[in-house]
């Protein structure tokens, strides 16, 4: 029987780095059995910006003859994030917002007004919007909001269980919504690689139209035998 830490192998597929409206491909790791889940993590993205992860295959660790991993319909395996749509955390900047401007979080609409009234989903300032979003009866399920000055941060609660879509509607002023954390993943079986052609290595390519920090983590699972993994420190229960 394998211990939990031997049943999967997690490694960094792309080191965290700043990417400015560009693309980058990380290192290639051996992929000979089971499945690979490649997680893309993205930091700040302004509205309309995107970040995409594509899974590549190669014949060696240097990325020789790299090409896309494709599904059974011959479509390249990829996942794309759009800022403020199904993300993990957003900020809502009310600095230039005025009465009648609106904020929509996961389909629930809140309107700026002269005074905060949670029952009407109306807010006078950032603190009022926090009260509205966090209301059990009139707010948004699965998220938590907090304010610093005129900026409200909305994140999933519990962590990672709710995807957030947020929109600002500028009626008379300006509401600025931006993403601060988003993630996506692709999940593939080893059988989608061109094994007969000698493609036993997998890598990830990340492309973004934003200026942001990106990173990729690989999770190889399940293991038929103990996975080799070297780390600087560990605590195994």
Q: Phi first, then psi: give them for residue 196, nearest 5 degrees.
A: -65, -25
Are 68 and 94 part of one and the same domain?
Answer: no
pLDDT at 222: 78
Strands 50-58 and 201-208: antiparallel
pLDDT at 39: 96
User: Is residue 211 a part of any domain in this protein?
Assistant: yes
Q: Residue 67 contacts by C-beta under 8 Å, 6 or more apart in sequence?
A: 56, 57, 58, 194, 199
Are 78 and 189 part of one and the same domain?
Answer: yes
**77 DSSP 8-state letter:** P
Are 65 and 129 part of one and the same domain?
Answer: no
pLDDT at 235: 45
Look-up: residue for tokens 């059990």?
Answer: 136
Are 144 and 194 part of one and the same domain?
Answer: no
User: Is residue 100 a part of any domain in this protein?
Assistant: yes
Are 12 and 58 part of one and the same domain?
Answer: yes
Question: Cβ distance 19 to 208 under 8 Å?
Answer: yes
- CA 213 to CA 41: how far, in whole Å? 8
User: Is residue 19 a part of any domain in this protein?
Assistant: yes
User: Is residue 230 a part of any domain in this protein?
Assistant: no
Are 36 and 58 part of one and the same domain?
Answer: yes
pTM: 0.89
pLDDT at 158: 87
Q: Phi first, then psi: give them for residue 65, nearest 5 degrees.
A: 55, 35
| Range of the structural domain that residue 22 is part of | 4-43+50-82+184-221
pLDDT at 218: 96
Question: Cβ distance 150 to 126 under 8 Å?
Answer: yes
Are 190 and 137 part of one and the same domain?
Answer: no
User: Is residue 98 a part of any domain in this protein?
Assistant: yes
**H helix or E strand, kind and range, residue 187:** strand 174-189
User: Is residue 97 a part of any domain in this protein?
Assistant: yes
CATH of the domain at 66: 2.60.120
User: Is residue 178 a part of any domain in this protein?
Assistant: no
Domains held by the chain: number: 2
237 residues of the chain, pLDDT tens digit each: 455 556 678 899 999 999 999 999 999 999 998 999 999 999 999 999 999 999 999 999 999 999 999 999 999 999 999 999 999 999 999 999 999 999 999 999 999 999 999 999 999 999 999 999 999 999 999 999 999 999 999 999 988 899 999 999 999 999 999 999 999 999 999 999 999 999 999 999 999 999 999 999 999 987 555 555 555 555 444
User: Is residue 234 a part of any domain in this protein?
Assistant: no
pLDDT at 160: 85
């Amino acid at each position: 029987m394998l211990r939990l830490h031997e049943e999967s192998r997690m490694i960094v597929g792309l080191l965290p780095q700043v990417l400015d409206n560009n693309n980058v491909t990380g290192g290639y790791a051996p992929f000979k059995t089971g499945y690979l889940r490649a997680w893309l993590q993205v930091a700040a993205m302004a509205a309309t910006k995107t970040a995409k992860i594509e899974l590549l295959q190669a014949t060696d660790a240097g990325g020789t003859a790299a090409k896309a991993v494709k599904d059974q319909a011959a479509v390249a395996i990829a996942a794309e994030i759009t800022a403020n749509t199904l993300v993990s955390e957003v900020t809502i900047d009310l600095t230039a917002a005025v009465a009648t401007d609106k904020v929509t979080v996961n389909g629930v609409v809140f309107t700026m007004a002269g005074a905060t009234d949670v029952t009407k989903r109306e807010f006078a300032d950032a603190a009022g919007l926090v009260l509205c979003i966090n209301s059990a009866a009139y707010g948004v399920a699965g998220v938590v909001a907090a304010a610093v000055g005129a900026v409200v941060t909305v994140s999933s609660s519990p962590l990672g269980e709710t995807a957030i879509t947020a929109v600002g509607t500028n009626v008379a002023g300006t509401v600025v919504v931006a993403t601060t954390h988003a993630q996506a993943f692709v999940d593939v079986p080893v059988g989608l690689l061109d094994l007969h052609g000698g493609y036993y290595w997998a890598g990830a390519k990340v492309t973004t139209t934003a200026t942001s920090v990106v990173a990729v983590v690989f999770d190889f699972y399940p293991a038929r035998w103990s996975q080799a993994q070297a780390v600087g420190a560990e605590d195994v229960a």
